[in-house]
Amino acid sequence: MKISPEKMTEIIGLLNKNWKGQKICPICGNNNWNVSENIAEIREYNKGSFIVSGSVYPTVIITCNICGYTLNFNAIKLGILKTDTQEKIALKFNVYPHILHVIYVDIH
Ligand SMILES: [Zn+2]
């Protein structure tokens, strides 16, 4: 999911607010970071099999431009994705609510 320019500004503001001290890469010692232009997702592990209704963790990826070291921030905890009720999503996708663990809606 592509991050809008407004949300990108919000993300950078939140990172600057929450990231205390110098923003130095722990691997190479530089301060040269990039915020990915898309929200990625980390999926529940199931021994190599894909679970359609498994847990999904939407993630904002921050990468060191020098060495590639990567930080992942949960987009919901960061506050740039809004959660919705399990029931609404379950109705939309015709699945039972109890199998949905992490839910998110589009950002605009
Ligand atoms: Zn680095």
Render pLDDT for 54-90 as a digit per residue (tens, 0 to 9). Answer: 888 899 999 999 999 999 999 988 888 877 654 455 4
Q: Is the pLDDT of residue 41 over 70?
A: yes
In a domain, 103, yes or no: no
In a domain, 106, yes or no: no
In a domain, 108, yes or no: no
Mean pLDDT over all residues of the chain? 81
In a domain, 66, yes or no: yes
In a domain, 47, yes or no: yes
In a domain, 51, yes or no: yes
pTM over 0.75? The answer is: no
In a domain, 27, yes or no: yes
State in Å: Cα 24 to ligand 1 middle.
8
State in Å: Cα 32 to ligand 1 middle.
8
In a domain, 68, yes or no: yes
SS3 71: strand
* Structural element, H or E, at residue 27: none
**Residue 66 belongs to domain spanning:** 5-81
Q: Is the pLDDT of residue 28 over 50?
A: yes
pLDDT at 92: 54
State in Å: Cα 85 to ligand 1 middle.
39
Contact 30, 64 (CB under 8 A): yes
State in Å: Cα 76 to ligand 1 middle.
25
Number of domains in the chain: 1
**From CA 36, how far away is CA 83, in angstroms rounded?**
21
Question: Where residue 11 falls among pLDDT bands split at 50, 70, 90?
Answer: very high
